[in-house]
Amino acid sequence: MGKIRKEKNKAKTVHKKTYTQEDVNNALKEVEKGMSTRKAANMFQVPRSTLYAKHKELIPVEGVRGPSTYLTTEEEKLLVDWIFYCNQRGFPVTKSQLLQCVQKLVTELKRETPFKDNKPGRHWWESFCRRHLDVTPRIAQNLTINRASATEDVLKNWFKEVKEHLHKLNLLDIHPSRIYNLDESAFFLVPKADRVLARKGSKSVYKVVHGDEKESLTVLFIVNAEGIMLPPMILFWYERTPAAVTNSLPPGWIAGNTERGWMTADSFYNYITTKFHPWLVKNNIQFPVLLYVDGHASHLTLALSQFCKTNQIELIALYPNATHILQPLDVAVFHPLKSKWKKAVDQWRIDHGAVKLKRENFAPVLKQALDSMPNLRNIIEHGFRTCGLSPFSSDAVDFNILNKKKKKNTESSEHVDQDLADRSSEQEEAKKHLKYFEHRLSSDDLQDFKNALSNGSLKISNSDNEGLFKYWLDMKRLSGATINN
């Protein structure tokens, strides 16, 4: 008796019929000619119930097997187009980024799903890949510090690929007013002091400062190859921007708010849509335009890619770990600007009785630093030429910069000493900012960054922090810290 019950409780093997949409169409044609649904179903191996329902128009003739998807066909096609759009421009989409994108999409659509926190899991991901065979999961080549270090051959190949892409879009030889570069940089509220005058024989000279000397604000800049700088965006970590800060902003400048005061996908999208594009339209800039950015994950979300395609803004990702060679803002603008910033802060404190520079004072002082650079336009134009972005040519790039062992040009000892002093000052400032940056990171995130660096994979476990991780690597490089594979 027990054996019989055991046999009855065995799960029945279900044999699903395999058929294609063509089989369904052929079966329906035979039914319309007078063949019975039973005979047509057997002939073309289509389930009789399915054939009957499609014949009676109870369900769509064109459809997929299994339960309905949580995103429509049009919405999934939008995701596939976004994946290809990003890959073509140097922003490869990971599985994690896709799932986060879907999570945000269904949340905005207020669509009910069985997903935890509206974020799909492995089964949805596998089904998505089966539905879209042209999307193939590939393992992106991990770049260790040494391999990611730009070489002359690697960069020339990057120039070749981008040139082919721009040629197809008819954007290779366009007016400088249509070529832009975007980047962000941190400015300390208490910059490191320069050389000062003191009594001869003094062993130590101190400069009195107020508050946290590691505090900084991130500023987003956009410049074009014609030498024009757009009004920047300053990132704060307020929930709501205080009136004192808003009222202090120079005309056209905007304040952005993020949880930690750093660049996020939302703040980047906000700047492009509410400041950059309206500025282009207001100034009658011819479309399409080129916008060179680094490869942060925040720089090409689904929403932003749709906006850029609709409004003819072509984003191009600069080669990883080569922004010190390819990015005009890094190469030509930030160093002299931060030198002027130090002087502007010192003068402001002298004029205001050595009081602390507060956040509401930040924008006016930064504006003074920019205004004290009468040759800013020439500096920006030179940056685009030096980086080979306008005119577009790898011949303009000084690849000798990549050779750490290259012989320095013969200079006077005074100039050499001053250059070394400037670099040392920059490293000290970067170290200070790195320490402050790490202090504001959670211990788990910081350990994750260190693990990714130590094992040489540059692969962190939480893809939400890819932008922060890239920034952390940049800070370590600028601070002169030793980085092992």
pLDDT tens-digit readout, 316-344: 988 887 888 899 999 999 999 999 999 99
Q: Backbone phi, then psi, for 243, in 5-degree steps?
A: -60, -35
The rounded distance, in Å, linking the Cα atoms of 363 and 366 is 5
In angstroms and rounded to an integer, the radius of gyration of the C-alpha atoms of the chain is: 29
| Cis status, amide bond into 67, omega within 30 of 0 | no
Buried b (16+ CB within 10 A) or exposed e, 217-228: bbbbbbbbbbbb
Find the mean pLDDT for residues 171-195.
86
pLDDT tens-digit readout, 137-148: 654 444 444 434
pLDDT of residue 17: 62
Lowest mean pLDDT among 59-68, 216-225, 336-345: 59-68
The rounded distance, in Å, linking the Cα atoms of 190 and 209 is 7
pLDDT of residue 22: 86
Q: Does domain 13-66 have CATH number 1.20.120?
A: no
Judged by DSSP in three states, 368 sits in helix
pLDDT of residue 94: 80
* Mean pLDDT estimate for the chain: 80
The rounded distance, in Å, linking the Cα atoms of 376 and 390 is 17
In this predicted structure, the answer to whether residue 159 has a pLDDT above a threshold of 90 is yes
Q: What share of the chain is helix, strand, coil (3-state, %, to 5)?
A: 50, 10, 40
Q: Backbone phi, then psi, for 401, in 5-degree steps?
A: -60, -30
The rounded distance, in Å, linking the Cα atoms of 319 and 298 is 16
Token look-up 């950059």 returns 276
Specify the higher pLDDT residue, 404 or 241: 241
In this predicted structure, the answer to whether residue 298 has a pLDDT above a threshold of 80 is no
Find the mean pLDDT for residues 338-363.
89
**Which pTM does this prediction carry?**
0.63
Q: Which amino acid, 379?
A: I
Q: Which amino acid, 192?
A: K
The DSSP H or E segment spanning 477 is helix 466-478
Looking at residue 333, what DSSP letter applies?
I
Judged by DSSP in three states, 195 sits in coil
The rounded distance, in Å, linking the Cα atoms of 169 and 167 is 5
pLDDT of residue 364: 95
pLDDT of residue 371: 95
Domain 168-193+210-403: which CATH number of 3.60.20.10, 3.20.20.70, 3.30.420.10, 3.40.50.300: 3.30.420.10
Looking at residue 90, what DSSP letter applies?
T
- Count the neighbouring beta carbons within 10 Å of the beta carbon of residue 79: 18
In this predicted structure, the answer to whether residue 369 has a pLDDT above a threshold of 90 is yes
The rounded distance, in Å, linking the Cα atoms of 278 and 431 is 37
User: Helix 21-32 crosses helix 48-55 at what angle (to 10 degrees)?
Assistant: 60
The rounded distance, in Å, linking the Cα atoms of 161 and 155 is 10
pLDDT range class, residue 130, cuts 50, 70, 90 = confident
Beta bridge partners, 180, equal: 224, 291
CA dist list (Å): 77 to 69, 81, 100, 261, 386: 13, 6, 17, 34, 40
Nearest alpha carbon to residue 345 among 217, 455, 224: 217
- Break the chain into its structural domains and give their ranges: 13-66, 73-131, 168-193+210-403, 414-479
pLDDT range class, residue 416, cuts 50, 70, 90 = very low
